[in-house]
Structure formats: structure tokens, C-alpha cells
Amino acid sequence: MRIAMETAVYALSRSATRHISIAPEVDALYWGRRGETTMLLETFSSVGQAFRYARSSAKASGIRPLTSPAESLWVHWEKVASSLRPLLAGRSLLWDEVKELVRGMAEPMEDRELRAALQVMSLTGTAILVPGVEIPPAVSRWRCNRCGAGPEGLFRSRCRRCGRPCVSCDRCIVLGRSRACTPLFFFPAGGRNGEGRRSVDLRLPPLTEGQRWVSERCLEAVRSGERFFLTWAVTGSGKTEAVLPAVREVLGGGGRVLWVSPRRDVVEELAPRLQRAFPDTPVSVLHGETGWIRTISPLTVATAHQAWRFYRCFHLVVVDEGDAFPLEGDPQLRSGLARAMAEGGTTLWLTATPPADWRRRLMRRRMPGVILPVRHHGLPLPEPRLFRRWGLWFSLDRGRPLPPVTAFLDRVVSTGGQGLLFVPRVADVDRLLSWIKGRHPDRFGECRGMSGRDGGRKATLEELRKGKIRFLITTTVL
């Protein structure tokens, strides 16, 4: 079904510059009030094609003046735009996403009225209109404006929206299809909430000397407006607790904080911890299965991909486990984090294993950051023991003895603890479970398997925390 977004390209009578509009009657009235006449050059069913034409030197097939509607309409459109600003500010949304977000308003809004309000916002600087996918004549310069993917992440196909061959993005399809024919809107959030400093309740356990050192350095970075600050801290050192005073500093100044983690499971585990630490601050959770958040809370916990939904919104972005998949080595996700940060904001990067280049630069004091090399209780990290077993999977599939695995199972039971057995592939979860069932049937009832394809991961992890599962066979999703 064709549901095209008609887009006009026009010029002003006193200028050759070409302008884009999804509601040309709004532009006619806006410029008419300033003594200008708007001349319609072309109309397209694709926003991307309209932008491509506007930036070219192609001749217009026909030029005619746009008729300006009644003056009273401007007041109405501006009123509607003002009512939308608090809802849309700080977001990056495709046309369909804007409609979905606006749908919950008290008074239903027709598409034509919504387009007019968005065009008012574009003309007055409270919205930026671009195509979802930019398609200049050179294919090598094609680019998704939402995620930043280049031509390698884009493909051309027949589009049911604009009724013609159209370019869309596969890179950020998890958030919905970004297309050349569909407009993408950036809504700047503006400044802080305007209430000035306020008291924010932070409940923390006593910090160690090392944690206090990290906390003070992070506070300095936030107060001085440092754009990037690296916290390189060993696993188990209490990085999260050490950073929370910096979070309170931003919240207390009326700012917003985005806490990013690579995986949904970590987000769901972290959000309750942050809510306990900030009992009087609303905490929003955002990942692929949470749906919309209608109000951007002062503190938002999200997966990395969700940062593409925000624009100049957060005064502090905390990136937890930035060295893990999918953030590691992904420039599009990192650029999305940078775009979600407000002007003058700070990114705090938390990791136990920073890239080698970062480590060298930090050690040579060429990168702002701090190192915490000890865990909160002062004990060293346990070091893994390596056992080499040739033909490991052959032995597993045939149920042959694997003494190191058997010794591990026995040791966990003898100490009354719980054990995690990691495997490299999803299919290996069932292979190891089958081996345990055959070789150690008395242990099989205490085992469960879990991978990234398991829809019940949350329930499985809850059972593990409650001690109902002794052995969990899992992939690196955990």
C-alpha cells in the first residue's frame, strides 16, 4: 500500500536557495509574513529525492507561487508545535515514530496537522528535518542519517511507501526501517530543566580509598566539562558505585544522565541497582522489548542501540563495558552515543579491558582518565587454570570422560556453591548438557542451559540468583 510523504522543494522570490517542506502551506505563510513570496519548484513522493534535487543544479519543470493560507492558521500551528515540544525534545525519530509517540495525546491529531506542526518546528529551529537515508548522486556517499551506516549497510528495492525504487538501511533495522523516502527529525533538547540545583538523595555503601579516588576524579571531569573520561578499573572494583557521585552531580544540576550497557540483560540487572541508589529519582529502562518511554526521565538506562533515538539530550553519558560486543569496534554505535550527548556534556567510559591504544595513551597521560587496579575487598582476582584437551568435542559427543569438567562439578558441589560453564557456540549448550546427563545423571537435575536465543533468560537468571540452579551452561551472553 502506497503511503508516500509528499515533499515540496521551493525557492524564495529574492533568493535562489532551495528549501524543503513537508507542509508547503506553512512555509508560504511563514515567509509571507516576512514579505517573501514562495515559488514551488518540484514535488516528490520521497524526502530523499527532494533533498537530492534541492542540492543539485537541475532545472525546475514548473515554477508557480504558493498560496498563503489565512493568518490565523499560523497561531494554531504554532500552538500545536508548542504542545509537542516537551514530548519530542531530545529525540531522534522517523515520521512513523513521531506519529506513534503523539498518538497517546489527549486530542487525536491528523497527519496533515502533525506535518504542519513539525514544519513550524523546522522553520523556527526546534526541529531538524533530514531524509532517513541520504542519497546523493554518488553511491559511495549514501548514508543513513539515523545510525551513520555507509553504502555497505544500505540496499535498494521497490518501496511500497513511495511506489518507486528506494534505498533503506539494514544496519539500524532493529529500531524500524530507515528509508530515503521517509523524513527523520532531530529535536534538540535545549538546556537543563531550569530549576537550578536541587538535592538528590544518593544511597551508597562506604567507599574504599580507591573508589573515593575514582569518584573524585570523575566529579572533576564532570564539573570541568571534560568531553571524554576513561575509568579503567579491574573487574569487581566497584566502578558503578564510584561513578554514582558524578551522576548525582549532574542530576542535582538539573541535567539528564544516560547509562548505556551493551546488552539487555545487563540493563535489566543494573536498573534496580540505580533505582535503589537514587530512590527519589525516576529511572527509565529502554531496550528492544520495553517499547516507548513517553517522558525522558532524569536517569535513563538503555542498550547501546537505543542511543540512536536521542539527540543532544543527555548531559552525562556513562558507557559501561564499552569494550564488549556490540560497542567494541562499532563506530556507528559510538557516534550515536556522541549525538545523544548534549553540548558541553561528558562521556564516562567504564571498562576493565580498554583497547591497547587507550591504555598506552592513559598511561602516558595523553588521555583524561583514572586507573583502579584493585577490587573493593583488596583480594586479587582468581586466575583461570588452563587444561588442554585434544578432541574435546569428539569426546563430548561420544560421552567419554573429561576429568577436568568432572573435577569442577564435584568441587562446586563440595563447596556448596554454584558454577558457570561457558561454551563458545549456542549449539554447544545442548552438547554439554547431553554429556552431563550421560556421565553425571545425578548432577543433570541441577543444570540449566541459556544462550542469547533463549527468550526466558530473565527467569533463568532469577532462578540462578535464588540458588535454584547449581550449574548454568551458557554462552558469552552472560
DSSP for 331-395, please give it: HHHHHHHHHHEEEEEEEEEEESS--HHHHHHHHTT-S-EEEE-S-TT-PPPPPPPP---TTHHHH
Query: Which DSSP symbol is given to 141?
Result: G
Residue with cell 558503578: 240
Whether 257 contacts 251, CB under 8 Å: yes
- For residue 134, which of 157, 123, 150 has the smallest C-alpha distance? 150
Identify residue 473 by its one-letter amino acid code: I
Identify residue 350 by its one-letter amino acid code: L
Q: What is the pTM of this model?
A: 0.84
For the chain, percent of residues with pLDDT exceeding 90: 63
Integer Cα distance of 129 and 144 in angstroms: 14
- For residue 186, which of 260, 114, 125, 256 has the smallest C-alpha distance? 125
Query: Which DSSP symbol is given to 67?
Result: P
Query: What pLDDT score does 193 carry?
Result: 60
Query: What pLDDT score does 58 carry?
Result: 81
Residue 62 C-beta-side C-alpha neighbours within 13 Å:
5
* Helical spans, DSSP H, in 64-107: 72-88, 95-102
Q: What is the pLDDT of residues 268-310, one digit of tens each?
A: 889 999 999 999 999 999 988 776 677 788 999 999 999 999 9
Confidence grade of residue 66 (pLDDT, cut at 50, 70, 90):
confident
Query: What pLDDT score does 57 carry?
Result: 83
- For residue 248, which of 282, 213, 217, 278 has the smallest C-alpha distance? 278
Q: Is the pLDDT of residue 166 over 50?
A: yes
> Of 79-88, 220-229, 356-365, which gets the smallest average pLDDT?
356-365
Higher pLDDT, 46 or 109: 46
Higher pLDDT, 8 or 103: 8
How large is the average pLDDT for residues 213-241?
A: 92
- For residue 359, which of 467, 270, 230 has the smallest C-alpha distance? 230
Whether 237 contacts 374, CB under 8 Å: yes
Query: What pLDDT score does 4 carry?
Result: 61
Query: What pLDDT score does 197 carry?
Result: 75
Calculate helix-pair angle for 426-439, 403-414, nearest 10 degrees.
80
Query: What pLDDT score does 2 carry?
Result: 47
Work out whether strand 283-286 and strand 165-169 pair parallel, antiparallel, or are unpaired. Answer: unpaired
Whether 9 contacts 44, CB under 8 Å: yes
C-alpha distances (whole Å) from 355 to each of 144, 218, 307, 360 are: 27, 20, 22, 9
Query: What pLDDT score does 148 carry?
Result: 93
Q: What is the pLDDT of residues 96-111, one digit of tens each?
A: 999 988 987 767 788 9
Confidence grade of residue 196 (pLDDT, cut at 50, 70, 90):
low
Grid coordinates representing 150? Answer: 555507509
Mean model confidence pLDDT for the chain = 89
Whether 179 contacts 167, CB under 8 Å: yes
Cβ neighbors of 346 (< 8 A, separation 6 or more) are 221, 222, 225, 226, 227, 228, 229, 315, 316, 317
Phi, psi angles (nearest 5°) of residue 351? -160, 150
Q: Is the peptide bond before 382 cis (omega within 30 degrees of 0)?
A: no
- For residue 161, which of 131, 129, 196 has the smallest C-alpha distance? 131
For residue 280, the tally of other CB atoms under 10 A from its CB is 11
Integer Cα distance of 114 and 102 in angstroms: 9
Q: Delineate the domains of the chain, giving CATH numbers in brackets.
A: 210-372 (3.40.50.300), 392-474 (3.40.50.300)
Q: Is the pLDDT of residue 467 over 70?
A: yes
